[in-house]
Structure 1
Amino acid sequence: MIDLRLYGHKVLVTGGSQGIGLGIARAFAREGARVCIVSRNEEALARAASLIREECGAQVLTHVEDTGSASAAERLAARFPDIDILVNNAGNIPGGSLEEVSDHAWRAAWDVKVYGYINLSRAYLPLMKAANGGVIVNVIGAAGESLDANYIAGSVGNAALMAFTKTLGSVSTDHGVRVVGVNPGPVATDRLERIARGRAQQRLGSEERWREVLSAFPLGRAAEVEEIANAVMWLASPVSAYTSGTVLTIDAGASYRKSIA
């Protein structure tokens, strides 16, 4: 068993009340880290915190916040200034072509997923520099390299965040701070099931056949949340102390296939 040396580290996870974010928060808590989770959904946040406390017996702090707000980063940095690991994870960019995604929907989604990541990194980088250490992990998405015109807002936003991660991570190490990213492909979350049900209805005539849609993925399945969370932990941990400006894709090779579904 590898000791990731994360015990006592303070970790902030945005979008931490469900899906990948909750999985990441649980994984860090199991390693003995002190976890702070952020979400705009107060009820979901309370349920997530209760789950982590019961499962891990760990200290969990919560903060209700819409990270798409221009002042959100300032508020979070003021409340949690001594974060060792920032995990930017919040976001839900809608699918659709250029004609289908409205200006309002595009901008609202990017305020959370693109500018939210940038603003939080801008807020925490000086604090981490002053502490001569810290890690920023951006959970991005494989659509940033496997570009899809029918997910244009997400593909372009993710590609921008990949460039942001690599660029910032190339110089942050001068101050003891690492910046890394993870590109998940399809992950077994409630959101993916909803998407698969819609595709099954459209292609197969019944949403109940949604598992058949997922069977077309590499290895016949989507990734488990824990597989993404474990990669985030490894990249953020002292075990990976020489890694910065790197984006790790976790999609079983799907980005290099012509089609997976």
Structure 2
Amino acid sequence: MDLALKGKTVLITGGSRGIGFGCAEVFAQEGANLHLVSVNEERLTEAKRILDMTYHVDVRITVADLSKSEAIAQVAEACPMPDILINNAGAIPAGTLDKVTEAVWREAWDLKVFGYINMTRDYYGRFRNRGYGTIVNVIGMAGENPDSSYVAGSAGNAAIMAFTKTMGGTSMNDGIRIVGVNPGAVLTDRIFTMLRTIAEEQKGDPEKWPDYLANLPMGRAATVRETADVVAFLASERAGYISGTIVTVDGGHASNNSVF
């Protein structure tokens, strides 16, 4: 299926690794040009090097901390009018209410929750003035399947879900689509390394890391590519009448109430 993304400009926050970089690869394979944003200059530069070498599309980068409101203007100056915005930056720490301090909670929400809101606020206005644009928010399964041991993330993801549905419910009146993707457990490099470390510490063998995924559908996590493909489809013209919708990529895990 041709997603009609060739020549489009895609702005991806948190684009230097994990799901963000996976999305960058899929869009690049479809012929889209990229603008990646991350707070980590070293990882961002390496991501650009790999994409340049592999896909031969235009790849630009901006180092910015999107937890800071002023960084939104910095990004907008560097990439004023993309066709597609992928909000992906931010990982909210796990912990119960008594373990997550107010400072940690606010810092995490400043990046993921308010970062998504502020990026959407700025680019919505730009897209509306132009007459079209698409925003995809990469959120997280805990927003629909909350977990008290991930209280800040569950609440934050639920807030972004509500924001996505609220904005996407009327945005097509301005020619804009706003959609969301809720990944469940995704086997990013970071998660893979973490599980190997845990397996070595607890089981004495890092190769036993798949044991920790046994309760998931098919006994595995989603791949980065499986998640990124959904993001790319929703961002494309093939999903042209979809807005205010959130697609969950978790193998049905959120629906069976099992414990990960």
- Normalising to structure 1: TM-score of the pair? 0.96
State the match for 2:224 in structure 1.
225
The residue aligned with 1:8 is 7
Alpha-carbon offset, residue 171 of structure 1: 1.2
Correspondence for 1:158? 157
Partners of 1:199 and 1:207 within 8 A in 2: no
Q: Distance in 2 between matches of 1:232 and 1:247?
A: 11
- TM-superposed CA distance for 1:81, in Å, is 1.1
Asked if the contact 2:215/2:258 (under 8 Å) is kept, the reply is no
Letter aligned with residue 35 of structure 1:
L
* Contact 1:144–1:159 (8 Å) recurs in 2: yes
Give the aligned partner of residue 102 of structure 2: 103
Within the alignment, does 1:112 sit opposite 2:95 as a pair? no
> Aligned partners of 1:115 and 1:212: how far apart in 2?
36
Q: Does 1:171 align with 2:170?
A: yes
Q: 1:260: how far off?
A: 3.9
Please identify, of 186-195 and 170-179, the stretch whose mean Cα deviation from structure 2 is larger: 186-195
The letter of the residue matching 2:86 is V
Query: Aligned equivalents of 1:167 and 1:113: distance in 2?
Result: 17
Aligned to 1:253: 252
Match of 2:181 in 1: 182
SS where residue 54 of structure 1 aligns? helix
**What does the per-residue CA deviation read over 1:50-94, in whole Å, with 9 as the maximum and x for residues that have no partner?**
111111111100000011111111221122111110000001110
Q: Residues 61-72 of structure 1 correspond to what in structure 2 (within 5 A)?
A: 61-72=60-71
Partner of 1:136: 135
3-state SS, counterpart of residue 191 of structure 1: helix
| Alignment partners' CA distance in 1, 2:238 and 2:27 | 14
On the 8 A contact 1:199/1:213 being kept in 2, the answer is no
One-letter identity of the residue aligned with 2:245: T
Q: Deviations over 1:173-231 (max 9, x none)?
A: 111000000000000112322443465467x5446222211233111111111111110
Q: How many residues align?
A: 259
Whether 2:96 is the aligned partner of 1:90: answer no
Instruction: Letter of the 1:219 partner, please give it.
Output: M
Gaps in structure 1 of 5+ consecutive residues: none
Distance 2:32 2:10 in 1: 7
1:28 aligns with 27
Q: Please tell me whether the aligned partners of residues 218 and 260 of structure 1 are also in contact (alpha carbons under 8 angstroms).
A: no
SS at 1:179 equivalent: strand
Q: Which residue of 2 aligns with 1:47?
A: 46
Structure 1 equivalent of residue 211 of structure 2: 212
Contact map agreement 1:183 1:249 (CA 8 A) in 2: yes
Give the match's secondary structure for 1:71: helix
RMSD of aligned alpha carbons: 1.4
CA–CA distance in 1 between the matches of 2:56 and 2:99? 46
Percent same amino acid at aligned positions?
47
